[in-house]
Each structure stands twice: as structure tokens, then as C-alpha cells.
Amino acid sequence: MKVVFVRPERCVGCRQCELACAVAHSRSQTLAGAVFEPRSPQPRIHIGVGALGEPFPNRCRHCDPAPCQAACLPGALYREPKTGSLLLNPDRCIRCASCAMACPFGVIRFYDEPLQARIKVLAHKCDNCVTRRRHGQVPACVEACKAGALLFSELNQVLAAKTREVARSASFGPRAEAAGEPGAMTVLREFRARLVELGEAK
């Protein structure tokens, strides 16, 4: 079963995934159309910012068992077996926010859902792009990411690749890029971290 695997060390903070997610959950399905829709579509993935200014793509993990599902009193959250995605039945959601309280990652927000006929603020979470995937497409956030921070793959395949990377970095030290030479994003990340440290009152 394929999952979206996040590699935060690859995130450049461009927030293209947020835009693509909102468009994928819009009525028009285009960026130009989505920005003019009266019920504005919202992203389900969020780029947070770490203590040293580093970006962090924060996305629903579709946990199993899922704390949000366990906390959902009306039973609005359910598992879609084919993709393993944890989805929301909008008709059952009573906006009690119990799911958001239970979620350890803070990835559930509350918005009016433009794809629903009824105007109603309800829980708003990643649906793993189940609709796109029925048409053979990968999740929109993955498609948008040009830096390799979001991968769509079998979990164990990604982790096998990660094992190879870790093994290489054991040979070359913590900066394994290009056999020891830091890449541009590593230099920029370190520079950003220095700015944050310099900005802290002594």
C-alpha cells in the first residue's frame, strides 16, 4: 500500500504543496479558478516553521489505530480499506473538535468545505487525494513537490532507500550530500539558523 512519506530535511519551504492541495480540493480544480471561488478552498497540508527557521511539512499520517477516529463521538471518521486512508463523512461531523483535540500532530482544521452542497464549517483533514488516485494520479502535494520532500511510495521501499542514505552518511559524516560537500540548501539552512541564533537577545 502506497503512502505519502515526508522527508522534512528536503523541504525548501516553498509552500507549493499547500497551493496544490487547496486546488485539488476546489470546485474548479485549477489555480486560476480556485482563487476566485467564493467558498475558498483550503490546504490540508501545512508548512510549519521550526525553532531554527527550518520548514516542516505537516500532514495527516493516517494513523492506524487513529486517535482522532477513537475520539470521534458521532462516528464521522472512517477507514477507506483500499488506500488505508482515514476519511471524514461530512454528514456526520458535528464540529465538536474532539478529533482535533486527540490528534497529536495538529493537522485537523475547521473550514467550510466548498465541495459540500451545504455551507457548514466542519473538520477538514487530508483525504490522501482518494479522488485523484481513482484517476491514476498521485496525491497533489506529492506532485507539486520539486524538492523530494514528499514521496508517494510503499513505506518499506522508502525506508530501504533511507537505510542506504543513512549508511552512506555513516561513511561521509552527517553531511552526506555529494560525498561530504554541503549542498546549497544545507548552507542556506545553516545560514537561516545562524540568523535565528543571532537574533536571540543576550
Partner 1 sequence: MLTSDDIRNRTITEDGQRMLEKAEHDQVRTVWDRYQAQLPQCGFCELGLSCRNCAMGPCRIDPFGEGPQVGVCGADADIIVARNLGRMIAAGAASHSDHGRDLVEVLRQVAEGKAPGYQIREEGKLRALAAEFGISGDGRGKEAVALDLAEALEEEFGTRKKELTLVRRAPEQRRALWTKLGIMPRGIDRETSEMMHRTHMGVDNNWQSLLLHGLRNALSDGWGGSLIATEVSDILFGVPRPVHSKVNLGVLKTDQVNILLHGHNPIVSEMIAQAATDDDLVALAKAKGAAGINLAGICCTGNELLMRRGIPMAGNHLTTELALVTGAVEMMFVDYQCIMPALGQVAACYHTRMISTSDKAGFPRMEHHEFHPDNARELARKLVTEAIENYPRRVPGKVKIPVEPVDMMAGFSVEAIVAALGGTVQPLIDAIVAGKIRGAVGVVGCNNPKIRQDYGHVNLTRKLIAHDILVVDTGCAAVANARAGFKVAEAAALAGPGLREVCGALGIPPVLHMGSCVDNVRITMLAAALANALKMDISDLPLAAAAPEWYSEKAISIGCYAVASGIYTVLGPMPPVLGSKNVTQLLTEGLEKVVGATFAVEPDPDLAADLIIAHINRKRAGLGLS
172 binds partner 1 (CB under 8 A): no
Q: Which of 54, 77, 100, 114 binds partner 1 (CB under 8 A)?
A: 54
Q: Which of 19, 96, 102, 185 binds partner 1 (CB under 8 A)?
A: 185
13: CB partners within 8 A, 6+ apart:
47, 49, 54, 55
**Residue number, 74 or 183, with CB nearest to partner 1:** 183
Number of residues located near partner 1, criterion CB under 8 A: 28
12 binds partner 1 (CB under 8 A): yes
43 binds partner 1 (CB under 8 A): no
Element (H, E) at 167: helix 155-172
Interacting stretch for partner 1, rule CB under 8 A, among 67-75, 126-134, 167-175, 185-193? 185-193
52 binds partner 1 (CB under 8 A): no
Q: Per-residue string for binding with partner 1, 144-163, x by CB under 8 A?
A: --xxx---------------
Long-range pairs, 79-85, Cβ under 8 A, ≥24: 80/130, 83/1, 83/2, 83/128, 83/130, 83/133, 84/1, 84/3, 85/127, 85/128, 85/130
From CA 78, how far away is CA 74, in angstroms rounded?
A: 11
* Whether the Cβ atoms of residue 87 and residue 127 lie closer than 8 Å to each other: yes
Q: Least distance from C-beta 187 to partner 1, angstroms? A: 6
Alpha-carbon dihedral of residues 11, 12, 18, 20, nearest 10 degrees?
-100
Interacting stretch for partner 1, rule CB under 8 A, among 68-76, 95-103, 158-166, 186-194? 186-194
From CA 56, how far away is CA 199, in angstroms rounded?
A: 21
200 binds partner 1 (CB under 8 A): yes
Q: Least distance from C-beta 19 to partner 1, angstroms? A: 11
Q: Which of residues 128-147 bind partner 1 (CB under 8 A)?
A: 146-147
4 binds partner 1 (CB under 8 A): no
From CA 44, how far away is CA 25, in angstroms rounded?
A: 9
Which residues here bind partner 1, judged by CB under 8 A? 10-15, 47, 49, 53-55, 146-148, 177-178, 183-185, 187-188, 191, 194-195, 198-201
